[in-house]
Homo-oligomer: A and B are copies of this chain.
Amino acid sequence: MTREIRLNAFDMNCVGHQSPGLWRHPRDKSANYKDLDYWVNLAKTLERGKIDGLFIADVLGVYDVYGGNTESALRNSAQVPVNDPLQLIPTMAHLTENLGFGLTASLSFEHPYTFARRLSTLDHLTKGRVGWNIVTSYLNSGALNIGMPAQTRHDDRYDLAEDYLAVCYKLWEGSWEEGAVVRDREAGIFTHPDKVHPIRHDGPFFKVPGIHLSEPSPQRTPVLYQAGASSRGKDFAGANAECVFVAAPSKAVLKKYVSNVREAAARAGRNPRDVLVFNLQTVIVGETDAEAKRKFDEYRRYVSYEGALTLISGWTGIDFSQFQPDEVLRHRKTDAVQSAVETFTTIDPGKEWTVREMAEWVGIGGFGPLFVGSPETVADLLQEWVEDTDVDGFNLAYAVTPETFEDVVDLLVPELQKRGVFKTEYRPGTLREKLFGKGPRLAAPHPGTRYRDLAALAEPAVLNL
């Protein structure tokens, strides 16, 4: 196989995840998000196509920057209502065999002691097919509702993330030794108490004296995903992440990002190839280029201008309701607006983007690149991006669900397989083994492995439980 391409499906427990307005399309089923039948069917479709994983985003909060209120988000179902992603995964895993599952969970909304038990439980129930997307940020509207002040400073956030992960690593990797659980019916010993250790964590944000409540799960630490675009974020991802998500709209931006992440991994003493980078991507595939173009034109008619700007406003912190649709934002002078404009400019350096054009770009699948064409055309583009940017795979957003994913599975995947760049069978084992061909546990020099021998950790054991 020449350079293998990885494919994830990107979704959220809400309506029209990154395609504002397309819930109105007659074939869109995303409004069935409350029904497990919808999710089970999606998972089976993805598994039929040997897709690596279904990745479920989450936002705890409402996009209330646009117009300074929640009206547009509600009217356009721009990621609200939004339900808990965690509870979707066990059923999908129970009724499939190989598909991986990625759960998004922000560090800000649950204590690491209880969160670690949730993830161990999920890894048990999925038989080791779960990953965790470590999110360090959040919407201010969500933070306010749990009694937190507005978004913490960027660097503080990563200090907290490091303390949070240390707790998780200690619970997952260190608290229960291999062989602690013996289930010896004759001797009447379920667990050897001397092989289970209180973690005695005494960090700047969290104090966790006790043992982990769950016995070791197949992967112990789930496959770790992260999406850090800042310098500190890339360092954190380079050290900890096994998979990295990015939403780079152009090859230039993506190539630089991939290179930075691999360098950060190398600086952390890891093999730069042990980090898989996935770029956000929308593909509209038809039997022919013309059919794909017809489909795309049909989808575009359903994009909600207001819904798209509601998402962009939330992501950038700029209230786009103050601009006119035909306005070209390079005339605006604030730093935040310039930064948003610069990002769009990388997509097409010669282009002057109007607000309406920005909304239309984001309206079908969000901020990633958009490829429209026959299986051959789209496969050519994906291979070109892999070659030119060193990216490992793509995190596929939908325009219309499950149609976008069905087209990927039925049309694009066979073409990629024919070219020898996409697997025809899943690897056996856990998600980590499927993705990396090794596992099921983290391997040195990943920092999580340093927490296996708690006694050897340099930290003072201030608590003596």
Q: Which residues of A contact B (CB under 8 A)?
A: 13, 15, 21, 23-24, 26, 31, 34-37, 40, 60-62, 64, 69-72, 74-77, 80-84, 86-91, 93-94, 109-111, 113-114, 117-118, 120-122, 124-125, 141-142, 144-147, 181, 183, 185, 188-193, 196, 198, 206-211, 213-215, 217, 304, 465
Residues on B with C-beta less than 8 A from A211 are: 62, 70, 80
Beta-carbon contact of B188 and A76 below 8 Å: yes
4 closest Cβ pairs, A-B complex: A77-B190, A71-B193, A84-B121, A83-B121
Beta-carbon contact of B213 and A62 below 8 Å: yes
Given A90-B90, A213-B80, does the pair A147, B207 have CB atoms closer than 8 Å?
A: yes
Given A75-B189, A147-B111, A210-B141, does the pair A36, B196 have CB atoms closer than 8 Å?
A: no
Residues on B with C-beta less than 8 A from A190 are: 15, 23, 31, 74-77
> Quick one: closest B residue to A31, CB to CB?
B183
Beta-carbon contact of A209 and B74 below 8 Å: no
Beyond the given A69-B193, A87-B90, please list 13 additional residue pairs across the A-B interface where CB-CB is below 8 A. Answer: A34-B125, A34-B215, A34-B217, A36-B90, A60-B117, A84-B117, A86-B118, A87-B121, A90-B91, A91-B94, A142-B210, A144-B210, A145-B210
Assembly stoichiometry (copies): 2
The CA-CA distance from A15 to B183 in the complex, in Å, is 10
Beta-carbon contact of B125 and A114 below 8 Å: no
Pairs across A and B, CB under 8 Å, 29 listed: A13-B121, A23-B185, A24-B188, A31-B183, A60-B213, A62-B210, A62-B211, A62-B213, A64-B465, A69-B193, A70-B196, A72-B193, A74-B191, A76-B190, A80-B211, A81-B181, A81-B191, A87-B87, A87-B90, A90-B91, A91-B94, A110-B110, A111-B146, A141-B210, A144-B209, A144-B210, A145-B210, A146-B208, A147-B207
Given A90-B88, A147-B207, does the pair A82, B24 have CB atoms closer than 8 Å?
A: no
Beta-carbon contact of B109 and A111 below 8 Å: yes
Q: Most chain-B Cβ atoms within 10 A of its Cβ — which of A34, A69, A207?
A: A34
Residues on B with C-beta less than 8 A from A26 are: 185
Beta-carbon contact of B124 and A114 below 8 Å: no
Residues on B with C-beta less than 8 A from A31 are: 183, 190
The CA-CA distance from A190 to B113 in the complex, in Å, is 38
Given A31-B183, A83-B214, A87-B121, does the pair A191, B75 have CB atoms closer than 8 Å?
A: yes
